[in-house]
Amino acid sequence: MTRKQFAVVASRIKQEIDNIEGLHKELSGKGLTGTKKRIKSALPPGDTFVLRAVGSILHDFYVAVENIFKTVAREIDEKLPVGEQWHRELLIRMTMDIPEVRPPLLSKETAAMLDEFRAFRHVFRNVYGFNLSSERIVDLLNKFPQITNCVEKEVYSFIQTMKKIMPEG
């Protein structure tokens, strides 16, 4: 991969970071970030419609993160995982240092936090919205600012490292 080709990859990754920042602003604008107490007070008790909406934003967050992973896997690693557990495998692969290809995109700690959002995304896609757990959503909302910060920092660090190791031409 050339620097020019990587510039396209980096731009695509940055678009997803912008999307994540938009989701963060959307949640914080509704008072849905911060302490669990603050989040609970912003969620109307028993309102499954609001839980569905918030669940959709949490779903979108992991979709944006996974879009970054898929871009790295396709364009740099040159292969997406396959099989029943490919979403989990993709997350794990992003923690790997692949000699002569790329450094890790994420730390193992960040990947572990993201795995909770991956699991939630799976639940969100496979259950009726009125069955969503408000406690689970509150817990994820409480972790949301920290995980978005970690993802953003680690992704930008990855981009900077890749720029340094990319060959000219």
Are 13 and 71 within 8 A, CB to CB? yes
| Residue with the larger pLDDT of the pair 20 and 44 | 20
Q: How far apart are CA 146 and CA 83, in angstroms?
A: 31
Q: Which two tokens stand for residue 47?
A: 């309102």
Over pLDDT 70: what percentage of the chain? Answer: 99
- Percent helix, strand, coil in the chain (nearest 5)? 75, 0, 25
Confidence of residue 169 (pLDDT cuts 50, 70, 90): low
pLDDT of residue 161: 96
Are 138 and 120 within 8 A, CB to CB? no
pLDDT of residue 108: 98
pLDDT of residue 168: 74
Instruction: Please give the angle made by the CA atoms of 70, 122 and 124, to the nearest 5 degrees.
Output: 120
Q: How far is CA 141 from the centre of its chain?
A: 13
Residue 132 has pLDDT above 90, yes or no: no
Q: Is the dihedral of CA 161, 167, 168, 169 positive or negative?
A: negative
Name the maximum alpha-carbon separation found in the chain: 58
pLDDT of residue 129: 75
Residue 100 has pLDDT above 80, yes or no: yes
How does the average pLDDT of the chain come out, rounded? 94
| Residue with the larger pLDDT of the pair 44 and 167 | 44
Confidence of residue 134 (pLDDT cuts 50, 70, 90): very high
- Nearest CA to 114 among 138, 94, 84, 85? 94
Q: What is the mean pLDDT of residues 126-142?
A: 89
pLDDT of residue 46: 87
Q: What is the mean pLDDT of residues 10-19?
A: 98
> If you count DSSP H runs as helices and E runs as strands, how many of each does the chain have, helices first?
6, 0
Q: What is the mean pLDDT of residues 93-120?
A: 97
Lowest mean pLDDT among 26-30, 39-43, 131-135, 159-163: 131-135
